[in-house]
Amino acid sequence: MKQSQMLDCIVLAAGQGLRMRNSVPKQFLRLAGKPLIIHVLETLEQLNEIGTVWVTYLAGYETTYLQLFEQYGLRKPKLVPGGATRQWSVYNALQCVSSDRVVIHEAVRPFFSADLLRSMLALDAPAVVPTVPVPFTVSMGDTWMTAELNRSMLHNIQLPQVFDTKVLREAHERFYMPGDATEDSLLVFRLGKPVRFVPGLEYNIKITTPLDLALAELIYREG
Amino acid sequence: MKDRGTSAVVTGEERVSEDREGVGRVAVITGASRGIGRAIAVELSRAGYSVVIAARNVDDLTETLNSMTSYPTSKHSLIPVDVRQEEGVRRLFAEVAAQYGYADILVNNAGYVDPVGILEMTIENWNQTLATNLTSAFLCTREFVRMNKRRGGKIVNIASTAGLSARPGWSGYAASKAALINFSLTMSEELKPYNIKVYCVAPGRTATALRAKLAPGEDQSQILQPQAVAQLVRFLISPGGDFIDQQVIVIRKPV
């Protein structure tokens, strides 16, 4: 594994944001006046370890992405078509990746830190994944409880994640169907490869609902 | 463009022995042809900054340039420009980039006033006041941020105590300065991720030609002198100013 090589990064930004109940795709929603995707891309822009940033785009919005890249003077992002599912968006972008390792992040998680990513890059594993503890009780079942889960053994998985590109490609080829994986380390795990957990950041929230956006404003103001 | 290059003009009375914290740093000052802008240009040149002075009137700018101190390490430039115009501001920063590569400091000082009551206020007067006092700051700030979002910097906006309270007969001026104050506070927050600090200085009555328009007949020797504002700006853009944030800094002569 070449440690000195600049890594490609995939930023998932092709979502329609249906849970946000907003006509604007959530990656373009504004936090402190700036689109969520720009918060993410500006942090990546400052990281010398990151080379090209492959941004998966929502069809019909190409001009919006490109205009934002230009307005904010971003040099790293390049567009790649999003897929019908999150998994297939990653698959599409993986076809463009040329580095031995690849970082995967998402446009609606603006509070990740450069320090976190650097600490993950220092680890040598097929997949490096930040997690935070699950602070509430969880159980399984439909109408009736069918199983008890020990929350001390559970992990809330975050992004960004770092992968061995060859391993991730293999996982995506093997588990291409049904294409509904909600994140990538699961695919690597299914492939039988080790997935390394590292402590994530409590404030590195994913902005999915209007409540998340309100919380994000608070996090941003508190710095 | 007139450029004094490295020609040193240091007279005996200039404070050559003091610290020159501005050596190697570039400051752009708008509205530098007179009054507070000129005083800031003179003060920063003494501090060793390379200073770019911008305004519309070349003769007045030249007078400012001739008042400035040059050290072998500094290089001053005069750029005639109308900072109310988007194209003019783009050109100003393009020239700064071509000559210096960057600017560390921006002082938005361009100001205009034609004080009349609301029934006499023309749309031309209103628009010109807002364009000079507010829009110019927006345009210059945007270009400065484009230039510096990766390397940081400092912006000082020269507002006025007129922006803090009611000023009958000065509605356009007072409104534009109030807007500039809020613009400054907002930019101070918004530009933090780029390590760009934004200060807002609100001078009280200051002995300038602009003040003479607002208060004809006033004894200007009895009010705040532009040099005092310039010294405050010099402090803010020095490392000492790093600990000041998110406030309107009022400077006025005690009554």
Q: What is the DSSP string of B204-246?
A: -SBSSHHHHHHSTT--GGGSB-HHHHHHHHHHHHSGGGGG--S
- Number of Cβ pairs closer than 8 Å across A and B? 11
Q: What is the pLDDT of residues A70-122, one digit of tens each?
A: 999 999 999 999 999 999 999 999 999 999 999 999 999 999 999 999 999 99
Beta bridge partners of A57: A13, A81
Cα B69 to chain centroid, rounded: 18
Q: Is residue B115 part of a domain?
A: yes
Segments forming the whole domain that contains residue A24: 7-222
Torsion of CA B80, B171, B138, A61, to 10 degrees: -140
**What is the pLDDT at residue A222?**
82
Taking each helix axis from N to C end, the angle separating B123-130 and B171-190, rounded to the nearest 10 degrees, works out to: 30
- Domains in chain A, number: 1
**Are residues B150 and A46, on separate chains, in Cβ contact within 8 Å?**
yes
Q: Chain B: nearest CA to A48, how far in angstroms?
A: 12
* CATH code at position A31: 3.90.550.10
Q: Is residue B3 part of a domain?
A: no
Cα A80 to chain centroid, rounded: 15
Distance CA B188, CA B195 (A): 10
State which H helix or E strand residue A102 sits in.
strand A101-106
**For residue A163, which phi and psi values (nearest 5 degrees)?**
-130, 150
Distance CA A152, CA A149 (A): 9
**Residue of A33, A34, A73 lying closest to B146 (CB–CB):** A73
Segment 27-86 of chain A within 8 Å of chain B by CB: 32-34, 42, 45-46, 72-73
Segments forming the whole domain that contains residue B142: 20-251
Say whether B100 is catalytic: no
Q: Is residue B25 part of a domain?
A: yes
Q: Which of A46, A68, A70 should we substitute to test contact with B (largest number of B Cβ atoms within 10 Å)?
A: A46
Q: What is the pLDDT of residues A181-221, one digit of tens each?
A: 999 999 999 999 999 999 999 999 999 888 999 999 999 98
Question: B150 contacts in A (CB within 8 Å)?
Answer: 45-46
- Domains in chain B, number: 1
The residue type of A203 is Y
Q: What is the pLDDT of residues A139-149, one digit of tens each?
A: 999 999 999 99
Q: Is residue A2 part of a domain?
A: no
Q: Chain B: nearest CA to A162, how far in angstroms?
A: 25
ipTM above 0.85, yes or no: no
* CATH code at position B212: 3.40.50.720
Residue B9 pLDDT more than 50? Answer: no
Q: Is residue A108 part of a domain?
A: yes
**Taking an 8 Å Cβ-Cβ cutoff, which residues of chain B contact chain A?**
146, 149-150, 189-190, 192-193
**What is the pLDDT at residue A223?**
73
Q: Which of B102, B173, B194, B199 is catalytic?
A: B173
Q: Chain B: nearest CA to A40, how far in angstroms?
A: 12
Closest residue in B to A33 (Cα–Cα): B190
Q: What is the pLDDT of residues B36-71, one digit of tens each?
A: 999 999 999 999 999 999 999 999 999 999 999 999
Whether the CB-CB separation of A130 and A120 falls below 8 Å is answered with yes
Beta bridge partners of B50: B26
